[in-house]
Structure 1
């Protein structure tokens, strides 16, 4: 049996490489001779820069920047050379990711993407020819205003005074935008962005309502953020002439997508499309008997461009069954059956605290894959018996 394992990471727990190793250990536990292929995937979130740099034999550059809660942190971005072009790879999660926001400080009204802008500015200082940005695993909901400020955009209140936007709620106080001080190097530097293409900034399916609660927002805060983003989008339309409110990807990373569209020459791409330029998975899938994928949570959002369903889409072209393992099974998870995932299971075996689940995740992933393959083996044996019986009847 050949089993291909194509996991993403488990947010705030294990990166994709760690998940893949645990999955393979489970397969070998079932059968030491089983044929496996590991293809750890990233979706623009944690590990994006390191993975791309490793594939391209580039280098990581470490930089002290402003973290999402305003404290100084050490972050990183990557640089690689291909042909005559030097590309910087920036991972927003390394500057403003949820993992960088302590649980007791998760107030999306008060977190900033300023550090993302600092990484972009540092890359420009290196004289790179192109910038690639991965949007995922964010811990912010400031509409990308922090990033914009780091690049020279000034937000003004009703008195025409410059104000510092430290989080999403401050957007309500912005009455005009001054672009006169924006970094001039931006206009000559192409920026490609890997993001969740289905996320939009405004409306009932806007990022505040869909993702705000995941970042610690109460119902009141969700409404406040939604109102702030509506105001922000209208302001950008009036001042810059771009209708970002419902543009694909505008809601990515708490609205960072909107700021990239409004204030930089960025082009946003469905993250899987851009990532597939670096990680070829179809060749690995062809000829497999089974694909096992993984993600920290499977719910109604998974079919909207997340790795398990993108993997399933490719596997289905070749008639290969797909099973997903996950930490939690959320609302609307059954939609994944329609998206190509044949079965999904949670690795969590019994009630546990989040801390224990994180600690036990490697062991539980291993045990879950072992269990899956035992069940698949039973199904194969039943299939053989049914075939024999059918042949005997004929």
Structure 2
């Protein structure tokens, strides 16, 4: 019997690494002769860089950049090998970097994300994956592109800082200074949203409120975003609203797609490719995956969906060991997950379940492996 463990973290309680440790211990208890392996996974959101570095035996590259409010931020990105790097935009431009009372998408910038990209170019990477979840910004990616040499000019040819409040003032975009090395690089944007740049389903109205935008602020930013879009259409013949995902990360998706010719790809699919997941499935009898809570959202670019679909292709059974189930949890069965087992074993408050997360996980893991043992005897 050969097991592969590939679970998402249980946010706030169990890391992906911890689930591998616990599953291995219990599997060996029930199946003493079994072979166990595990791989840390993430879906392109927070923790993706760490997961991919761990699974790929990569390393961290430390870098000092500007944060969302142009403060100094010490952060890092991942080196996977001589040609491949992975970056999380949230490491430089993420919402947690902005104190609650200072959150205002008119004032934040993706400049620091561009600085990380520039550092990756300086290191000679030619295949760069960028996870763009968790942004604090709504600048259309102008800040990021400024760090790479693009100039955003007003009607008097004055260069703009590239914050959200500058969108309305963009009159011309000068790309002559864009770092020429970007033409030799394959950029992959890890993104699971298809929102356009503008409109009620666009960057501003869909994500702006959680970044501190008031109704008045959002109306102002949407007007600016429409102006930004129109300038791109006029000068480059490209309509960002026709590009699914252009509204991701406050419009950073637009800048990466238009100026860097990046390719948009599902976060979990990118992660699974980066960690060579398919190769790890060779000879595997059963895969155990999981997450803290499974519901209808689990079928939209999350870890369990991605793992399940890969295993389904190779006809390998998968069990989801999860914290709890919500509406639509059973939908995940369509994506290669054969069964769900919850860790919670009695009626209890959420706080108690979180406090006892490891104990409950161990108990559920043993129940799961004992059921699998019964199956081998039928």
Q: Same fold (TM over 0.5)?
A: yes
1:190 aligns with 2:185: yes
User: For 2:363, which of 334, 349, 370 is the aligned residue?
Assistant: 370
C-alpha change, 1:131 and 1:72, in structure 2 (3 Å) is farther
8 A Cα contact 1:131 1:190, kept in partner:
yes
C-alpha change, 1:375 and 1:38, in structure 2 (3 Å) is closer
Counterpart in the other structure of 2:114: 117
C-alpha change, 1:178 and 1:336, in structure 2 (3 Å) is same
SS at structure 2 position matched to 1:61: strand
Counterpart in the other structure of 1:390: none
User: For 2:161, which of 161, 164, 172 is the aligned residue?
Assistant: 164
Alignment partners' CA distance in 2, 1:266 and 1:62: 24
Counterpart in the other structure of 1:4: 4
1:271-282 correspondence runs (5 A)? 271-282=267-278
1:247 aligns with 2:240: no
Alignment partners' CA distance in 1, 2:28 and 2:79: 41
Counterpart in the other structure of 1:92: 89
Q: Which moved more, 1:149-158 or 1:27-36?
A: 27-36
Counterpart in the other structure of 1:38: 38
SS at structure 1 position matched to 2:195: coil
1:177-225 superposed Cα distances (whole Å, 9 cap, x missing partner): 23233333333x3132141254333345434455445545566666655
8 A Cα contact 2:269 2:306, kept in partner:
no
Q: Which moved more, 1:155-164 or 1:306-315?
A: 155-164
User: For 1:264, which of 260, 264, 267 is the aligned residue?
Assistant: 260
1:147 aligns with 2:144: yes
Alignment partners' CA distance in 1, 2:226 and 2:358: 41
Alignment partners' CA distance in 2, 1:236 and 1:81: 35
1:181 aligns with 2:177: yes
Once the 2 structures are TM-superposed, how far is the Cα of residue 364 of structure 1 from its aligned partner? 0.9
Once the 2 structures are TM-superposed, how far is the Cα of residue 260 of structure 1 from its aligned partner? 0.9
SS at structure 2 position matched to 1:7: coil
SS at structure 2 position matched to 1:302: helix
User: For 1:201, which of 176, 196, 209 is the aligned residue?
Assistant: 196
Q: Output the TM-score relative to the length of structure 1.
A: 0.75
1:19 aligns with 2:12: no
8 A Cα contact 1:101 1:139, kept in partner:
no
C-alpha change, 1:283 and 1:64, in structure 2 (3 Å) is closer
Q: Which moved more, 1:143-152 or 1:311-320?
A: 311-320
Once the 2 structures are TM-superposed, how far is the Cα of residue 114 of structure 1 from its aligned partner? 0.8
Alignment partners' CA distance in 2, 1:290 and 1:221: 51
Taking only aligned residues, the RMSD between alpha carbons, in angstroms, comes to 3.9
C-alpha change, 1:93 and 1:56, in structure 2 (3 Å) is same
Counterpart in the other structure of 2:63: 63
Once the 2 structures are TM-superposed, how far is the Cα of residue 147 of structure 1 from its aligned partner? 0.4
Q: Output the TM-score relative to the length of structure 2.
A: 0.78
Once the 2 structures are TM-superposed, how far is the Cα of residue 334 of structure 1 from its aligned partner? 5.2
Alignment partners' CA distance in 1, 2:107 and 2:343: 33
Which segments of 5 or more consecutive residues in structure 1 lack a partner in the other structure? 388-394
8 A Cα contact 1:65 1:72, kept in partner:
yes
C-alpha change, 1:339 and 1:226, in structure 2 (3 Å) is farther
Once the 2 structures are TM-superposed, how far is the Cα of residue 256 of structure 1 from its aligned partner? 1.7
Once the 2 structures are TM-superposed, how far is the Cα of residue 117 of structure 1 from its aligned partner? 0.6
Counterpart in the other structure of 2:349: 350
C-alpha change, 1:54 and 1:245, in structure 2 (3 Å) is same
8 A Cα contact 2:287 2:316, kept in partner:
no
1:275-290 correspondence runs (5 A)? 275-285=271-281, 290=286
Alignment partners' CA distance in 1, 2:27 and 2:368: 11
C-alpha change, 1:266 and 1:332, in structure 2 (3 Å) is same
1:60-101 superposed Cα distances (whole Å, 9 cap, x missing partner): 32121111233211112344654xxx4444332322234434
8 A Cα contact 2:321 2:365, kept in partner:
no
